[in-house]
Structure 1
Amino acid sequence: MSDPLRPRASLRTAVVWEVLRDALGRRAKAVGGDAAGELEVLDTGGGSGYFAVPLARLGHRVTVVDPSPNALFALERRAAEAGVADRVRGVQGDAHGLFDVVERGGYDAVLCHGVLEYVDDPAEGVRNAIDALRPAGTLSLLAAGQGGAVLARALAGHFTEARQILSDPAGRWGDGDPVPRRFTADQLSELVTEAGLAVSSVHGVRVFADLVPGVLVDTEPGAIDALLQLEAAAAELPAFHSVATQLHVLAERG
């Protein structure tokens, strides 16, 4: 079986997978004395299981909450094809009414990926994610980065829109912007600390991957591995957080 954490198609999320693998390994060891032990993981807004199914393949039990019935159907199919249907459970719901469908304080780790951009109240979304954790638990938070959008619009020649992102409270470039909200690293960290968790690390995600021409990555020998290594090297450096397409915050309780 190939490594589910570094597939060729996951270039843009390789940093997140590496951080998650290490964090869940530490949590499993703390819970049961074995880094390969089973954890209860909640994936809010987990959709069709892009993160949930590989985590299940690592031996964890994953509950996915998503408002889309179609996404949950795709999750069920993907889990069955991967042979982990018994480890993945999908329930229809959202971050606002999270505890209508899952247990409060019932999970060793909670993933909140690509959710805060779309909820009406990001602070409530973070609080609910944290309230789903057990007394000792890990939160993985992934959201759109403001600086990366500025850079992308500027490189595309849309300079007025790039400037608009800097001044807009939600970090949007205009009415046609498909992303309702973007964040800085400080804003995400503040949401977490105000909700009562300590930030363990912040990573810039897709610092370079969205800027490098696809033809270069596909045709140059060794380009993918080299780009993965570059992304990993830059991810933890605060200087690159301001230009990352996404920001990943890892926080822990206990």
Structure 2
Amino acid sequence: MRTEGAARQAATSPAVRTAVVWDVLRATLAARARATGRERLDIVDAGGGTGGFAVPLAELGHAVTVVDPSPDSLAALERRAAEAGVGVKGIQGDASDLRDLLEPRCADLVLCHSVLEYVEDPAGALSAVAALLRPGGVISVLAANPVATAIHRSLSGHFDEARQVLTDPAGRWGEQDPTPRRFSAEALAGLLTAAGFVPGETSGVRVFADLVPGRLLDGEPRAARALIALEQAAAAHPVLRDIATQLHLLGHR
């Protein structure tokens, strides 16, 4: 029998955690392919790490470049891509350095997932991404939501820290918080607009996945599929999306 930890891992497995994002990305890629007449699109994954998104995108036939500051992550990316039988280009660097690392207007889609929380200058990073995109290109932004953090801290009994999240401008629960900043949907849309993007609709990612007790999925293969369906239904709900662990937003050039 699986432990509670293993069951919790099943509840927050990549399929559950990213299903909503992949729904949006697949639709975006299809629309971009129709608009350009090219099935093979050029994609940059800024901060793409070990290739959780990059390798599956390459498996779909796209040309993918990962820019990440960690050499260890890039080495793991290379191994992961080799195991999948695809090629993914890895470049060491920060999101703020994209202008120096890549040619302007080289990308149809840029992923900026779990990056804005950590870069020194989020607005500058988005401006650098904008320079990479061709006319009609799209940025995919995924960022931590402070409301969800307040909920999670309170469920762990850290009530003062939960209150701190709600009052702190950066959405942090204290000095020991490993995340430098979190963003509301309005803040993300504002950043995208200032960088020259037209923001799309916001989706909530992991509305329930981080709250569901792991034992509910233990030994129940159908439960994970049902949880994914629930996440997909909640993603655009006008109330539930605002309590999601992460917020997903597209920006169009």
Equivalent in the alignment of 2:53: 51
Cα distance, 1:196 vs. partner?
1.3
Instruction: Work out whether residues 99 and 131 of structure 2, in 8 Å CA contact, stay in contact via their aligned partners in 1.
Output: no
Which one-letter code corresponds to 1:140 in the other structure? S
* Cα distance per residue 1:150-202 (max 9 Å; x no partner): 11011111111000001111100001111111010110011111111111221
Equivalent in the alignment of 1:13: 18
Give the count of matched residue pairs: 242
Cα distance, 1:13 vs. partner?
1.0
Does 1:93 pair with 2:98?
A: no
CA distance in 2, matches of 1:208, 1:161: 21
Which one-letter code corresponds to 2:55 in the other structure? V
Equivalent in the alignment of 2:3: none
Cα distance, 1:80 vs. partner?
0.7
Cα distance, 1:132 vs. partner?
1.0
Which one-letter code corresponds to 1:74 in the other structure? A
CA RMSD of aligned residues (A): 1.4
CA distance in 2, matches of 1:221, 1:170: 38
CA distance in 2, matches of 1:238, 1:126: 26
SS of match in other structure, 1:97: helix
Which one-letter code corresponds to 2:233 in the other structure? A
Equivalent in the alignment of 1:72: 74
CA distance in 2, matches of 1:127, 1:249: 16
Instruction: Work out whether residues 146 and 242 of structure 1, in 8 Å CA contact, stay in contact via their aligned partners in 2.
Output: no
CA distance in 2, matches of 1:139, 1:168: 27
Equivalent in the alignment of 1:207: 207
Instruction: Work out whether residues 203 and 249 of structure 1, in 8 Å CA contact, stay in contact via their aligned partners in 2.
Output: yes
Cα distance, 1:75 vs. partner?
0.6
Which one-letter code corresponds to 1:13 in the other structure? T
Which one-letter code corresponds to 1:122 in the other structure? P
Instruction: Work out whether residues 107 and 132 of structure 1, in 8 Å CA contact, stay in contact via their aligned partners in 2.
Output: yes
TM-score between the two structures when normalised by the length of structure 1: 0.92
Stretch moving more, 127-136 or 112-121? 127-136
Does 1:172 pair with 2:177?
A: no
SS of match in other structure, 1:242: helix
Residues 95/214 of structure 1: CA separation in 2 closer, same or farther (3 Å cut) = same
Equivalent in the alignment of 1:138: 138
Equivalent in the alignment of 1:247: 247
Equivalent in the alignment of 2:33: 28
Instruction: Work out whether residues 103 and 132 of structure 1, in 8 Å CA contact, stay in contact via their aligned partners in 2.
Output: yes
* Cα distance per residue 1:187-230 (max 9 Å; x no partner): 00111111111112210101000000122123335211111111
Instruction: Work out whether residues 140 and 248 of structure 2, in 8 Å CA contact, stay in contact via their aligned partners in 1.
Output: yes
CA distance in 2, matches of 1:116, 1:176: 19
CA distance in 1, matches of 2:79, 2:220: 35
TM-score between the two structures when normalised by the length of structure 2: 0.92
Equivalent in the alignment of 2:7: none
Equivalent in the alignment of 2:44: 42
Stretch moving more, 55-64 or 197-206? 197-206
Runs of 4+ in 1 over 3 A off after TM superposition: none
CA distance in 1, matches of 2:52, 2:77: 8
Equivalent in the alignment of 1:5: none
Cα distance, 1:238 vs. partner?
2.5
Q: Which structure would you say has the larger RCO, counting Cα contacts within 8 Å and 6 or more residues apart?
A: 2
CA distance in 1, matches of 2:126, 2:218: 37
Stretch moving more, 56-65 or 118-127? 118-127
SS of match in other structure, 2:171: coil
Does 1:238 pair with 2:238?
A: yes
Stretch moving more, 8-17 or 147-156? 8-17
Instruction: Work out whether residues 162 and 173 of structure 2, in 8 Å CA contact, stay in contact via their aligned partners in 1.
Output: yes
Cα distance, 1:97 vs. partner?
1.3
CA distance in 1, matches of 2:177, 2:107: 35
SS of match in other structure, 1:229: helix
Does 1:147 pair with 2:152?
A: no
Equivalent in the alignment of 2:9: none
